[in-house]
Amino acid sequence: MISNNITLIGNLGSDIKVNEFASDKRVGKVGLAYSSMYTNKKGEREEKTDWFNLTIWNKTCERMAAQVGKGSRVLIEGRLTTNSYENKEGQQIKTVEIIVNSFQKIERPEKVVSTPADTSEEALAF
């Protein structure tokens, strides 16, 4: 059996652009940024960001557009699909998209502000 599944965690690059059709269908489009760290030839740490085009349909689109927006960190599950079109110069352009089946908003942890521990005798007394 062949499987076409992808799971990514990343940040949305914009709010979801939703188009509605007369047949009560919706499609949303948005870019997802995924960043990773690597060590270059000089031994220095560098960050690389890849962008993925997401397509979201109907109820999933409706829920996602209502719950997340630009900068939101999300976990998405979906499948890869390819499309092609001819540009103005007559060249065939191929694109890869992720069709989103489900998503989950990931809350960023709040920054913890540490304060020095109170070690006075009063604080230590029970």
Give the pLDDT confidence score for residue 122 in this predicted structure: 52
pLDDT score for 107: 86
DSSP-assigned letters across all residues of 5-74: -EEEEEEESS--EEEE-TTS-EEEEEEEEEEEEEE-TTS-EEEEEEEEEEEEEHHHHHHHHHH--TT-EE
* pTM metric for this prediction: 0.76
pLDDT by residue for the chain (126 residues), tens digit each? 778 999 999 999 999 999 998 888 999 999 999 999 999 999 999 999 999 999 999 999 999 999 999 999 999 999 999 999 999 999 999 999 999 999 999 987 766 665 555 555 554 444
CATH superfamily name and code, 6-107: Nucleic acid-binding proteins (2.40.50.140)
Q: Which residue ranges make up each domain of the chain?
A: 6-107
